[in-house]
Amino acid sequence: MEAEAFFQRAVALYEQAYGAEHPTVASNLNSLGLLYLPLQQYTEAEASFMRALTIFEQAYGPHPTVVSTLNNLARLYKMQEHYQKAEVQLTRAIRICYQMHTKDDLLLAGSLSNLAECYYLQDNYLAAEPLYQQALHLFRNEYGSEHLIVAQCSNYLAVVYDVQGKFAEAEPLYQQVLLNFERILGSEHLGVAQCLENLATLYVAQTHYAEALPLFQRALRIYERELEPEHPQIISTREACLQCQRQL
C-alpha cells in the first residue's frame, strides 16, 4: 500500500534527520498506526502507537499528544474487544487531561465518551451514564446544543437511560436528537431513521403504541428508500409496525 510505504519512509527519514526519539518521528508513527487500524493489522498498529506514546511522554510529559495517542490505543483495543485494556488507556488519558495546566475540554470530553463506550459495550450502564453526562456537558459548552457531536453524545446517553428503564430521562433526549439529526443530516438520513426507531421502541416499552406506530412507519419509509429490499433492518421494522397495529 502506497500510504503505508510513505509513512514508513517518513519515519525512517525523520529518524535519520532528528534521531529516533524526536516527536516528529512519533507523529508519523501515530499516523502509521491509524493507517493500520482499518486494515486490521492490529499488531503493527499497537507497536506504532506504543512507540509513539513513549516518545511523546519523554518529550512532553502530560500533553495533548499523549492523550490523543492513548485514545488511539484504546480504539485499537476496542476494535479487538479488549475492553479492559482500553479502559486502562482511557483512564490514563482522563487523568492527564486533569493534570494539564491548560485543559483541553474537547480532549477530555472525547476521552470520557470513549471510556463510557467501553462500559456500555460491556453492559455496564451505571458506569457509562455519568461519563456520558460529563462528556455531553463539555461538548455543549464548546459547540452549543445544535452541533452533530452534541447530538451523537446525547443519543448515546439516551440509549443508556433507555436500557436502564429511565424513560423520563431518555425521551426528551431522543426527541432533541431527532430534531438535530433532521436539521444537520436531512430528514431522510439513515441516522434519522435509527433515531425514530429508538424513540418508537421506547414508546413500545411503555405500551404507548399509538405514539410508536407513526415513528416506525416513517423509519420504515427511509429504510425502504435507502437499503436493499431484503435488508434485515427493513424486515424488523416492518414487523415492529405490524406489532403496534395489532395492539391498537
Name which residue leads in pLDDT, 193 or 105.
Answer: 193
Q: What share of the chain is helix, strand, coil (3-state, %, to 5)?
A: 80, 0, 20
Burial class (CB in 10 A: 0-12, 13-18, 19+), 156: buried
Residue 144 banded pLDDT, cuts 50, 70, 90: very high
Instruction: Write down the domain spans for the chain.
Output: 145-248
Which contacts qualify for 228-233: CB closer than 8 Å, 24 or more apart? none
12-46 pLDDT per residue, tens: 887 889 999 999 999 999 999 999 999 999 999 99
| Range 145-248 classified under CATH 1.25.40.10 | yes
E strands, 81-183, are: none
DSSP state of 229: T
Sign of CA dihedral 141, 143, 146, 149: negative
Whether the pLDDT of residue 6 is over 90: the answer is: no
Q: What is the pLDDT of residue 5?
A: 82
Contact 107, 137 (CB under 8 A): no
What b/e string do you get for 165-201 counting C-beta neighbours within 10 Å, with b at 16 or more? eeeeebbebbebbbebbbebeeeeebbbbbbbbbbbe
Count Cβ atoms below 10 Å from residue 248 Cβ, excluding itself: 8
Q: Which of 77, 80, 78, 68 is nearest to 104 (CA)?
A: 68
Give per-residue pLDDT as tens, 202-212: 999 999 999 99
